[in-house]
């Protein structure tokens, strides 16, 4: 048999296989209408999807309609998905208590936006409020100019949750209500931490900031903070961030009750797209979620929404309520309130459990 005949026969088999796959893809029996999407740990059964392109020359991922209810049902989340203010799951009580200590030691630095103001106004159901009394409600606002956030790219910060120097920078980010893409660098991390170490040397420290809008790159936490307030604030760094050693000591003491949470890498299946987290520094509910994201080395863009930020109204209009944290996962079409549910979702979707079998 000549090489020409071999090529023709091989091509014929490829065409036959492709046609058979296409016919199977566009058939609509009830069983064929169930699609299975691998997640690394389990398979997600997606009901009601009309077709799955199996043609190797077409990207099938864009053709799969992912239903949030199907994804969550397949994960069998035990935590409540209903947003409830200040509610703590019984199995999360100790974590929330421990995560409150950094805020107490830092005297609530990062909780309030720069130029925070509070007033009483007439009640308006279309506006977010932290509380209302009769015909009036509390209006939180600020003097910080937020409008320019919409015409720039998010800053990039390499850091990890258990670092007091990183805590300082995150407080500044929250005070300025900045959008930041965090690239977690926990100890023994092989992704973003290795990138910095290989590029700038093993002695490189964290946090490390890149501003894609200006091209500025900075390592030292104090220099990063000064730059942020000069570029995106009123050029005046709050006294809570200028205490020198006392700032680091209080930040470090506040982290002690967490026993290193958010500092060490856990095995994970990394998502293709960065997650989006509506969060702010100072909230213990947000902190436990960030710890999980950091341990799993999951890149995420934080939309900072401290007290007084108009961004809270944006989330209120988007979802009908405001509560932080709020997670959006564009990889699976999932959006979640409630820190316990978010942590459980991240754990079941992206973490990799160690094998019970010992390998040589």
| Residues 210-231: tens digit of each pLDDT | 999 999 999 999 999 999 999 9
Find the domain containing 17 and state its range. 3-66
- % of the chain at pLDDT higher than 90: 72
Q: Are residues 174 and 53 in the same domain?
A: no
pLDDT tens sequence across 292-350: 999 999 999 999 999 999 999 999 999 999 999 999 999 999 999 999 999 999 999 99
Q: Are residues 328 and 255 in the same domain?
A: yes
Burial of 257 (0-12, 13-18, 19+ CB in 10 A): middle
Please check whether residue 120 lies inside any domain of the structure.
no
Q: Are residues 57 and 157 in the same domain?
A: no
CA 260 to chain centre: 19
* 3-class secondary-structure state, position 224: helix
Q: Are residues 193 and 334 in the same domain?
A: yes
CB 206 within 8 A of CB 159: yes
Please check whether residue 73 lies inside any domain of the structure.
no
Q: Are residues 176 and 250 in the same domain?
A: yes
Q: Are residues 51 and 109 in the same domain?
A: no
Q: Are residues 38 and 95 in the same domain?
A: no
Please check whether residue 127 lies inside any domain of the structure.
no
pLDDT tens sequence across 105-152: 999 999 999 999 999 999 999 999 999 999 999 999 998 766 455 557
Q: Are residues 183 and 308 in the same domain?
A: yes
pLDDT for position 2:
52
Task: Give the C-alpha separation, 277 to 347, whole Å.
Answer: 16
Please check whether residue 13 lies inside any domain of the structure.
yes
Please check whether residue 240 lies inside any domain of the structure.
yes
Please check whether residue 75 lies inside any domain of the structure.
no
> From the CB of residue 348, how many other CB atoms can be counted at a distance below 10 Å?
18
Q: Are residues 168 and 32 in the same domain?
A: no
pLDDT tens sequence across 80-105: 999 998 889 988 999 999 999 999 99
Please check whether residue 130 lies inside any domain of the structure.
no
Please check whether residue 71 lies inside any domain of the structure.
no
What is the domain-level CATH number for residue 103? 3.40.30.10
- The domain total for the chain is 2
């Amino acid at each position: 048999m000549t090489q020409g005949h071999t090529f023709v026969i091989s091509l014929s088999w490829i065409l036959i296989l492709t046609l058979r796959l296409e016919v199977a893809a566009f058939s609509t029996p009830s069983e064929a209408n169930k699609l299975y999407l691998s997640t690394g740990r389990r398979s997600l059964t997606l009901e009601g999807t009309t077709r799955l392109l199996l043609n190797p020359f077409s990207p099938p991922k864009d053709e799969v309609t992912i239903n949030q209810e199907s994804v969550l049902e397949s994960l069998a989340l035990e935590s409540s998905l209903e947003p409830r203010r200040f509610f703590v799951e019984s199995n999360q009580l100790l974590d929330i208590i421990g995560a409150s200590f950094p805020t107490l030691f830092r005297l609530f630095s990062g909780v309030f936006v720069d130029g925070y103001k509070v007033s009483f106004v007439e009640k308006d159901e279309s506006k977010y409020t932290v509380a209302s009394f009769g015909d009036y409600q509390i209006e939180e606002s600020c003097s910080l100019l937020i409008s320019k956030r919409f015409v720039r790219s998010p800053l990039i910060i390499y850091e990890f949750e258990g670092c007091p120097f990183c805590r300082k920078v995150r407080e500044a980010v929250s005070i300025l209500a900045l959008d930041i893409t965090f690239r977690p660098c926990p100890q023994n991390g092989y992704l973003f931490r290795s990138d910095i170490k290989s590029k700038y040397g093993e002695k490189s420290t964290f946090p490390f900031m890149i501003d894609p809008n200006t091209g500025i790159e900075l390592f030292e936490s104090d220099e990063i903070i000064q730059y942020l307030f000069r570029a995106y604030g009123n050029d005046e760094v709050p006294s809570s961030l200028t205490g020198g050693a006392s700032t680091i000591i209080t930040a470090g003491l506040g982290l002690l009750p967490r026993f290193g949470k958010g500092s060490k890498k856990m095995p994970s299946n990394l998502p293709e797209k960065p997650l989006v987290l509506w969060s702010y520094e100072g909230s213990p509910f947000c902190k436990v979620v960030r710890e999980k994201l950091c341990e799993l080395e999951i890149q995420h863009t934080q939309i900072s929404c401290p007290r007084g930020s108009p961004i809270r109204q944006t989330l209120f209009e988007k979802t009908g309520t405001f509560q932080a944290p709020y997670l959006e996962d564009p990889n699976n079409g999932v959006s979640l309130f409630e820190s316990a549910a978010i942590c459980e979702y991240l754990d079941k979707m992206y973490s990799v459990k160690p094998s019970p079998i010992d390998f040589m």
